[in-house]
Chain A
Amino acid sequence: QKEVEQDPGPLSVPEGAIVSLNCTYSNSAFQYFMWYRQYSRKGPELLMYTYSSGNKEDGRFTAQVDKSSKYISLFIRDSQPSDSATYLCAMSTNSGYSTLTFGKGTMLLVSP
């Protein structure tokens, strides 16, 4: 079983739709959870960052972490064509010397 699983998509939605992007993971030691957005031919940029369980909201974006199910989600409300990108989940542990573990990314296409 891979450490972080993420459906590669593509996920195609019409403008204005609510989008749900998800990752599952196997390592219960993960404590930090992130979502990165990557536009075509660009480097990833941090979109949302949460520590441990719970929800975090930032404008149209909501990140949700359910550690009991080892499942994280990113919700995008009122999706826009400018949201078309690849979304990568990432996570790390809280033990002294660890790097990020990334999902492979989900490609999202929002059509006008």
Chain B
Amino acid sequence: DVKVTQSSRYLVKRTGEKVFLECVQDMDHENMFWYRQDPGLGLRLIYFSYDVKMKEKGDIPEGYSVSREKKERFSLILESASTNQTSMYLCASMFPGTSGRSINTGELFFGEGSRLTVL
């Protein structure tokens, strides 16, 4: 079975802190994604990556950055956390793995989520 592991299920941080959310997948998928999920707003794409060291902005990248140094690991970084970044963060990888920029077949595997509270 594909496993997408998010390192922290629950985090509490203070405004202005730097926050790292880590995600690891074990199926050699090339494509990885970070979403946030908020009541009434659904899932919103923050960033995605279709290859090592590659990244693309999603719909709401402001206030976030990402890092993909290894194929299996995709990190989301909040440079200076703010209260409006309190949310559930979901990492996902895509099956099947594809090369290049074509990533449109759509079968996402999600982690269990990281619930971040910023005070």
Residues of A within 8 A of B (CB): 8, 32, 34, 36, 41-46, 49, 88, 90-100, 102-105
Contact = CB atoms under 8 A, between A and B. Distances in A.
A97 B102 contact: yes
A44 B48 CA distance: 17
A9 B101 CA distance: 36
Nearest to B95: A46
Given A42-B112, A43-B111, A96-B101, A32 B106 contact: yes
A23 B33 CA distance: 23
B43 interface: yes
Nearest to B58: A99
Contact of A102 (B42, B107, B112): B42
B108 A100 contact: yes
A104 B40 contact: yes
Nearest to A100: B106
B106 A43 contact: no
